[in-house]
Amino acid sequence: EAQVTQNPRYLITVTGKKLTVTCSQNMNHEYMSWYRQDPGLGLRQIYYSMNVEVTDKGDVPEGYKVSRKEKRNFPLILESPSPNQTSLYFCASSYRWAQTNTGELFFGEGSRLTVL
Amino acid sequence: DAKTTQPNSMESNEEEPVHLPCNHSTISGTDYIHWYRQLPSQGPEYVIHGLTSNVNNRMASLAIAEDRKSSTLILHRATLRDAAVYYCILTLSGNTGKLIFGQGTTLQVKP
């Protein structure tokens, strides 16, 4: 089954404790992206990757890192999480986006992160 | 950056058509118009996209104004399952990976 898988789905952590949210897709997509969703602010893009070893900042990259060492995985790294990073995070991927800015984005089910 | 403006919320009766408007007056010539929806407790899902011509698929229709400064997502017969937040999104010219979602329209469907 074609899917985007995020882990963990739920996490409660403490300020300063490094964590990684993994994202994996099994559709051979070139484009992958991370978003956070907060009440009243909608979905905001954190980072995106047009292809392996190619990443770029979205609208709200501060406090986050990403890497794209292989096509299927695009982990989101919070080196020193703070309470303002408490949010619902979504990963997405697309086959055609990198070439044409069109096509369908497939989203994961979300990861709810709480930083105390 | 190109932005979209949508009403915060709309209501519809079940089995009636729904027209969800979106204004994008600063759209560039090569920006595509995309629509996604987010059902409760789920990630967004693709609905439809277009450039200049009206588009139809199994889920909905997209009507794009001739000057491309606005568009309308049409659900031909709303069902209770269509209750969701609908996002109108523009890609950014230059084949970048940036995507701006905006606040979206919360659609309520009444039985």
Give A3-29 pLDDT, tens digit per residue: 999 999 999 999 999 999 999 999 999
* Spatial distance between the Cα atoms of A108 and A25, rounded to a whole number of angstroms: 9
pLDDT(B83) > 80: yes
Out of A44, A50, A109, closest to residue B43 by CB: A109
Structure tokens of A82?
A: 């703070």
Cβ contact B91–A101 (<8 Å) = yes
Residues of A within 8 A of B101 (CB-CB) are 35, 42-45
Condensed to tens digits (0 to 9), the pLDDT of residues B21-77 reads 999 998 888 888 999 999 988 999 999 999 999 999 998 999 999 999 999 999 999
What residues of A are in the B interface, CB distance below 8 Å?
4, 31, 33, 35, 40-45, 48-50, 56, 58-59, 90, 92, 97-110
Q: Percentage of residues in chain B with pLDDT exceeding 90?
A: 71
Q: Percentage of residues in chain A with pLDDT exceeding 70?
A: 98
Out of A33, A102, A107, closest to residue B45 by CB: A107
3-state secondary structure of A54: strand
Measure Cα distances from A69 to A77, A96, B63, B64 in Å: 14, 20, 40, 39
Helix (H) / strand (E) element for A49: namely: strand A42-51
- pLDDT given at position B2: 62
Residues in chain A predicted with pLDDT less than 70, given as ranges, are: 98-99
3-state DSSP helix/strand/coil % of chain B, to nearest 5 = 5, 45, 50
What residues of B are in the A interface, CB distance below 8 Å?
32, 36, 42-46, 49, 87, 91-92, 95-104
Instruction: Give Cα B14 to chain centroid, integer Å.
Output: 19
Mean pLDDT of B6-26: 95
Size of interface A-B (CB pairs under 8 A): 63
pLDDT(B95) > 70: no
- pLDDT given at position B3: 83
**Could you tell me if A49 and A66 are in contact, meaning their C-beta atoms sit under 8 angstroms apart?**
yes
Mean pLDDT of B6-32: 93
Q: How many CB atoms lie within 10 A of CB A66?
A: 21
Looking at the DSSP assignment, which residues form a beta bridge with residue B23? B5, B70
* Spatial distance between the Cα atoms of B75 and B93, rounded to a whole number of angstroms: 28
Q: How many CB atoms lie within 10 A of CB A86?
A: 16
